[in-house]
Amino acid sequence: MDATVGQIKTMTTDTPRSRPFDPLTRPIRIEARDVTVHYGAKQALFGISIDIPDRAVTSFIGPSGCGKSTFLRCINRMNDTIEGARVGGKITLDKEDINNPALDVVELRARIGMVFQKPNPFPKSIYENVAYGPKIHGLARSKSDMDEIVISSLRRAGLFEEVKDRLNEPGTGLSGGQQQRLCIARAIAVGPEVILMDEPCSALDPIATAVIEELIDELRENYTIVIVTHSMQQAARVSQKTAFFHLGKLIEEGVTEAIFTNPAHKQTQDYIMGRIG
């Protein structure tokens, strides 16, 4: 499947935007230091430290169960919702500790949006799906404000043209790829600074995947994006920085190109060559 994705990707965006980019020169948006996670007695993450650069795509790769999704969920404190999960270490967003008790998790999640593995639109209309975030966070002062937010979010998610005539139809009636773009539009509508994506394409067909990848590439102009992916090709295509996780540890991180062409660790190399995972 991944091979097909690669081909289609080459077909659709044959001219990748060649922005001169070195993630190491970008300002750091999120700083994680020595992050650990326990689920009950089981330790899932061991001392993860990583910097996430501003307005770039950082990808987490690694075999199943390596802790990449767990770490992603630490960034917007979604692990709080899991019974028996304990998070240690420190994560800062713009130098501000996200685990600071004074910081409301609701506010944090308004700043750090999330897109999940399986498209999960609310069983409501397309309009309501996008309007929900701005509504609960009180971001729209009037109906026309709201219309504007909804339309611009859908537009930025590349979905508006496809759904403009059926904004009142249920979001669950869209195709898988459209649903995922609706979820991205929903996340964008709150005006987050960071968007976390947990394997956003794993439930999608190759064509829909290509569309989402293109969208991610566009979004990074304005958003800091962290994406967890199973597909190394995807990481290579969309991200500028890559981190390789294995058995709950961060093995290696760096500029995507360097990780894929010249990994420093044998485990990374094995994974990239398809020997583990």
Binding site for another protein (CB under 8 A): 76, 78, 81, 83, 106-110, 113-114, 116, 118, 120-123, 132-133, 136-137, 183, 186-187, 190
In the chain, which ranges are continuous DSSP H helix? 2-12, 68-75, 105-111, 126-136, 143-156, 160-163, 176-189, 206-219, 232-238, 256-261, 266-272
CA atoms of 146 and 80, how far apart (whole Å): 30
Nearest to 43 by CA among 89, 105, 76: 89
DSSP state, residue 208: H
8 Å CB contact between 180 and 174: no
Query: How distant, in Å, are the alpha carbons of 1, 10, 73, 148 from that of 7?
Result: 10, 5, 31, 37
Closer to another protein by CB, 24 or 82: give it. Answer: 82
Q: Is 23 or 133 the residue whose CB approaches another protein more closely?
A: 133
Burial class (CB in 10 A: 0-12, 13-18, 19+), 93: buried
Q: 16 vs 123, which CB is nearer to another protein? A: 123
Rank residues 137 and 230 by Cβ distance to another protein and give the closer one: 137
* The pair of three-digit structure tokens given for residue 198, joined into one six-digit string: 């947990």
CB of 176 to another protein, least distance (A): 13
Q: Which residues contact 273 (CB under 8 A, 6 or more apart)?
A: none
Smallest separation (angstroms) from another protein to the CB of 111: 9
Q: How far is the CB of 260 from another protein (least distance, A)?
A: 30
Kindly report the CA angle at 200 between 135 and 13, in degrees rounded to 5?
110
Q: Which is nearer to another protein, 119 or 248 (CB)?
A: 119
Distances (CA, A) of 75 to 97, 128, 163, 247: 11, 26, 32, 19
CB of 230 to another protein, least distance (A): 18
Nearer to another protein, 111 or 249 (CB): 111
Considering the complex, what minimum distance in angstroms separates the CB of residue 184 from another protein?
A: 12
Residue nearer to another protein on the CB measure, 186 or 220: 186
Instruction: Kindly state the smallest distance separating residue 222's Cβ from another protein, in Å.
Output: 19
Task: Give least dist CB 76 to another protein, A.
Answer: 7
As given in the structure block, the two tokens for residue 103 are: 């910081």
